[in-house]
Structure 1
Amino acid sequence: MKHEKKYDLLTIGRSSIDLYSANIGSPFVDISAFNAFVGGCPLNIAVGSVRLGVNVAILTGIGNDQVGLFIKNFLSKEGVKTEWIPTIDGTRSSAVILGIEPPDKFPLVYYRDNCADININLDHVQNVPFEDFKAAIFSGTAFSKDPSRTAMLFALELAAKNQVTKLLDLDFRADQWHDIRAYGVTIRTVMNQFDVVIGTEEEILAAYLTDINQLEIKHQQISAPEIRGNIDEAIRQIIASGVETLIVKRGKDGASIFQKDKEEVKVPGFPVEVLNVLGAGDAFAGGFSYGFLNGWDLYKSVRMGNACGAIIVTREGCANFMPSNQEVMEFVEARGGF
């Protein structure tokens, strides 16, 4: 008898308190106040998805501290299932500080020394009933260090065993790896175990980066590095590795779908005026997951992701500002529909 799935989506990896500049447009050195939000790729995806109507749980770690309570309280209020968020003694919940200087300067500082989510271990993964989930989305950063790296490999095993659709958000953050080339070595090893891989052009190039001089980070924009390389060759290698579906996010130009022996499918975006680019990719993943889990075709699902990403870049923060289903549908309808 086929096991009935209780939940739509499990997101796995980072969570943090996000302190975003309250002085939009001011240089980082002149910031006088910050607003407290929550963030981290999997957390943003979880909130973005649940606001659209997806039944979501998250596997992340928090420290035995007030920041951890802040994160968990927000998720609970949003309706994200928090049963599998362990409090890990001896660690700290992570934090992010961001400057907001539109349209193209967003300096970012991570505070992730001995952070809780990178200490997710095999027991924490074992506690999750993977048989109850339709899909799981992993973040690339969760593979950056042990014990989380090994825990993610175990989670992949359990997901495959329980017929859970596996999605990977490449989520490249250069300063979270002891060597930026290690990101590519690790991601290339696991990528073909995923059904869907989602990433920006920069993240896809990072997966095949062989020379540290190919990467440049300006204005401490950790989430938006400049990476030199052959994007077409990197895409070809990902598909050749066995990845069933690759989705390349291209910012204002929308996104592209790549599959073996098929032509590239270009999905147009929604041009908007940018306030803050942080969280756009996570909003995209939330929107895509909504469509994908509701049986939409890839084109429409990616178009939904583009819409969610476009909305979030017009707003101040990430998870706290994710749009509702009604907001997205009205946004899309006003711009010509899917």
Structure 2
Amino acid sequence: MTALDGIKGGKFIVVGRVGMDLSPTDRAQTEHATDMFVAMGGSSANIAAGLVKLGLNADLVTCVSDDAVGRYCLNQLDAYGVGRAHVRTIQGEERTSLAVYETRVEDHQSVIYRNNAADFQMSVEDVEAVDYTQFTALITAGTVFASDPSRTAAFRAFDLAKKAGLPIIFDVDYRPYSWPSAEVAADVLSRAGALSDVIVGNDEEFGFMAGGMDKGRAKARELSQTSAAIVVYKMGQHGAVTYTATDEIPTGIYPAEAVKPTGAGDSFMAGFMAALAENRDLKTAILRGSACASIVVAKPGCAPAMPDTAQLDAFLTDHPGPTAGPTQ
């Protein structure tokens, strides 16, 4: 099965965390907040919710704590239609992740509580319990590799997915606060990237993996020539360059009035995968992912802001169009 064949199958097993997000309402600073908006969060859960909203199937593999926050996350997965047969509730001192972030761009503050995170307790046994033949592609984000036993389990999931013929889709998603050191992160994320069929990351993440910002783009191009079928090198407001073995495709962004800087990458991944699953060409798929990112940053919340197909199509119809892509 090629990477595109698996994506077109539309049945995704998503490995990684689910959490609770809290956001002060009325764009208030957290320290002055009197009211909070609550929503499901966590990059992998957000991606899964976005996929389901766009008409695909997604199941999550992770762990949550046996408390009210963990149960909230389970209820939210049900509400979004994300499969949770492989979400294990654990006992002990570990806790489900909690993020407090502001619905504001200027002087934006985010506080992430991931001390002793429950999702890092995902085990080899958890991923071995998955029947990968029931899915057509695996997606994960880099945070899953930041600590053991989750790291070892994620690499085991890669191995099992590959043996079942599933392509690996990897969002680098480097979060320094989750890792013991930058050196460990660079090594582990590079190993994960080398095993992946589709890699999505920004210029800083590829530069980090390559050992220098000036080497990031070359690293992305190299991966497309040696191991990955598709590599998306995102450059923020400047757009993206997508590499394959034979093509180099620059694309722009859809300017939007952002109310927060969070959730764009998760929504991009969901929109990109959904467009490829619909058999759209690569450039169109990237642009639809970019449109999803613009929709999400213009609304409160992450998972709640993910568009469905009708909302995405309406945005594309009404928007004047993307900016020009980056130059060589």
The equivalences for 1:202-281 within 5 A come to 202-209=204-211, 228-239=213-224, 241-260=226-245, 262-281=246-265
What is the CA deviation profile of residues 48-101 of structure 1, one whole-angstrom value per residue up to 9, with x for unaligned ones? 110110111111211111111101101101111111111011121111111333
Task: Classify the secondary structure of the residue corresponding to 1:199.
Answer: strand
The equivalences for 1:149-188 within 5 A come to 149-188=151-190
Aligned with residue 284 of structure 2, among 300, 317, 320: 300
Mapped contact 1:255–1:306 kept (Cα < 8 A):
no
Q: Give how far 1:252 is off.
A: 3.2
* Deviation >4 Å, runs of 4+: 4-7
For 2:261 and 2:243, how far apart are their aligned partners in 1?
24
| One-letter code aligned to 1:32 | T
Aligned with residue 310 of structure 1, among 286, 294, 304: 294
Q: Larger % of helix: which?
A: 2
Q: Which structure 1 segments of 5+ residues have no match?
A: 211-227
Task: Classify the secondary structure of the residue corresponding to 2:266.
Answer: helix
TM-score (norm 1): 0.87
| One-letter code aligned to 2:220 | I
TM-score (norm 2): 0.90
Mapped contact 1:92–1:116 kept (Cα < 8 A):
yes
What is the CA deviation profile of residues 134-169 of structure 1, one whole-angstrom value per residue up to 9, with x for unaligned ones? 111011010011000000011001110111111001
| One-letter code aligned to 1:107 | Q
For 1:305 and 1:189, how far apart are their aligned partners in 2?
26
Task: Classify the secondary structure of the residue corresponding to 1:44.
Answer: helix
Q: Give how far 1:233 is off.
A: 3.1
For 1:6 and 1:116, how far apart are their aligned partners in 2?
31
Instruction: Give the equivalent residue in structure 1 for 2:45.
Output: 43
For 1:236 and 1:302, how far apart are their aligned partners in 2?
17
Instruction: Give the equivalent residue in structure 2 for 1:117.
Output: 119
Instruction: Give the equivalent residue in structure 2 for 1:98.
Output: 101
Instruction: Give the equivalent residue in structure 2 for 1:79.
Output: 81
Q: Give how far 1:273 is off.
A: 1.0
What is the CA deviation profile of residues 248-269 of structure 1, one whole-angstrom value per residue up to 9, with x for unaligned ones? 2233333221123x34201222
Mapped contact 2:101–2:110 kept (Cα < 8 A):
yes
Mapped contact 1:18–1:96 kept (Cα < 8 A):
yes
Aligned with residue 108 of structure 1, among 110, 131, 144: 110
Percent of aligned positions that are identical: 29
Mapped contact 1:7–1:132 kept (Cα < 8 A):
no
Mapped contact 1:102–1:275 kept (Cα < 8 A):
yes
Aligned with residue 67 of structure 1, among 69, 78, 84: 69
Task: Classify the secondary structure of the residue corresponding to 1:231.
Answer: helix
For 1:184 and 1:148, how far apart are their aligned partners in 2?
17
Aligned with residue 15 of structure 1, among 13, 18, 31: 18
For 1:293 and 1:164, how far apart are their aligned partners in 2?
14
| One-letter code aligned to 1:298 | L
What is the CA deviation profile of residues 281-303 of structure 1, one whole-angstrom value per residue up to 9, with x for unaligned ones? 10000001111223222112111
Mapped contact 1:201–1:231 kept (Cα < 8 A):
yes
CA gap 1:64/1:205 in 2 versus in 1, 3 angstroms:
same
For 1:296 and 1:176, how far apart are their aligned partners in 2?
35
Q: Give how far 1:237 is off.
A: 4.1
For 1:63 and 1:320, how far apart are their aligned partners in 2?
22
Task: Classify the secondary structure of the residue corresponding to 2:299.
Answer: coil
Q: Give how far 1:240 is off.
A: 5.0
For 2:294 and 2:256, how far apart are their aligned partners in 1?
6
Task: Classify the secondary structure of the residue corresponding to 2:117.
Answer: coil
Mapped contact 1:252–1:270 kept (Cα < 8 A):
no
For 1:275 and 1:133, how far apart are their aligned partners in 2?
36
Note if 1:282 corresponds to 2:266: yes
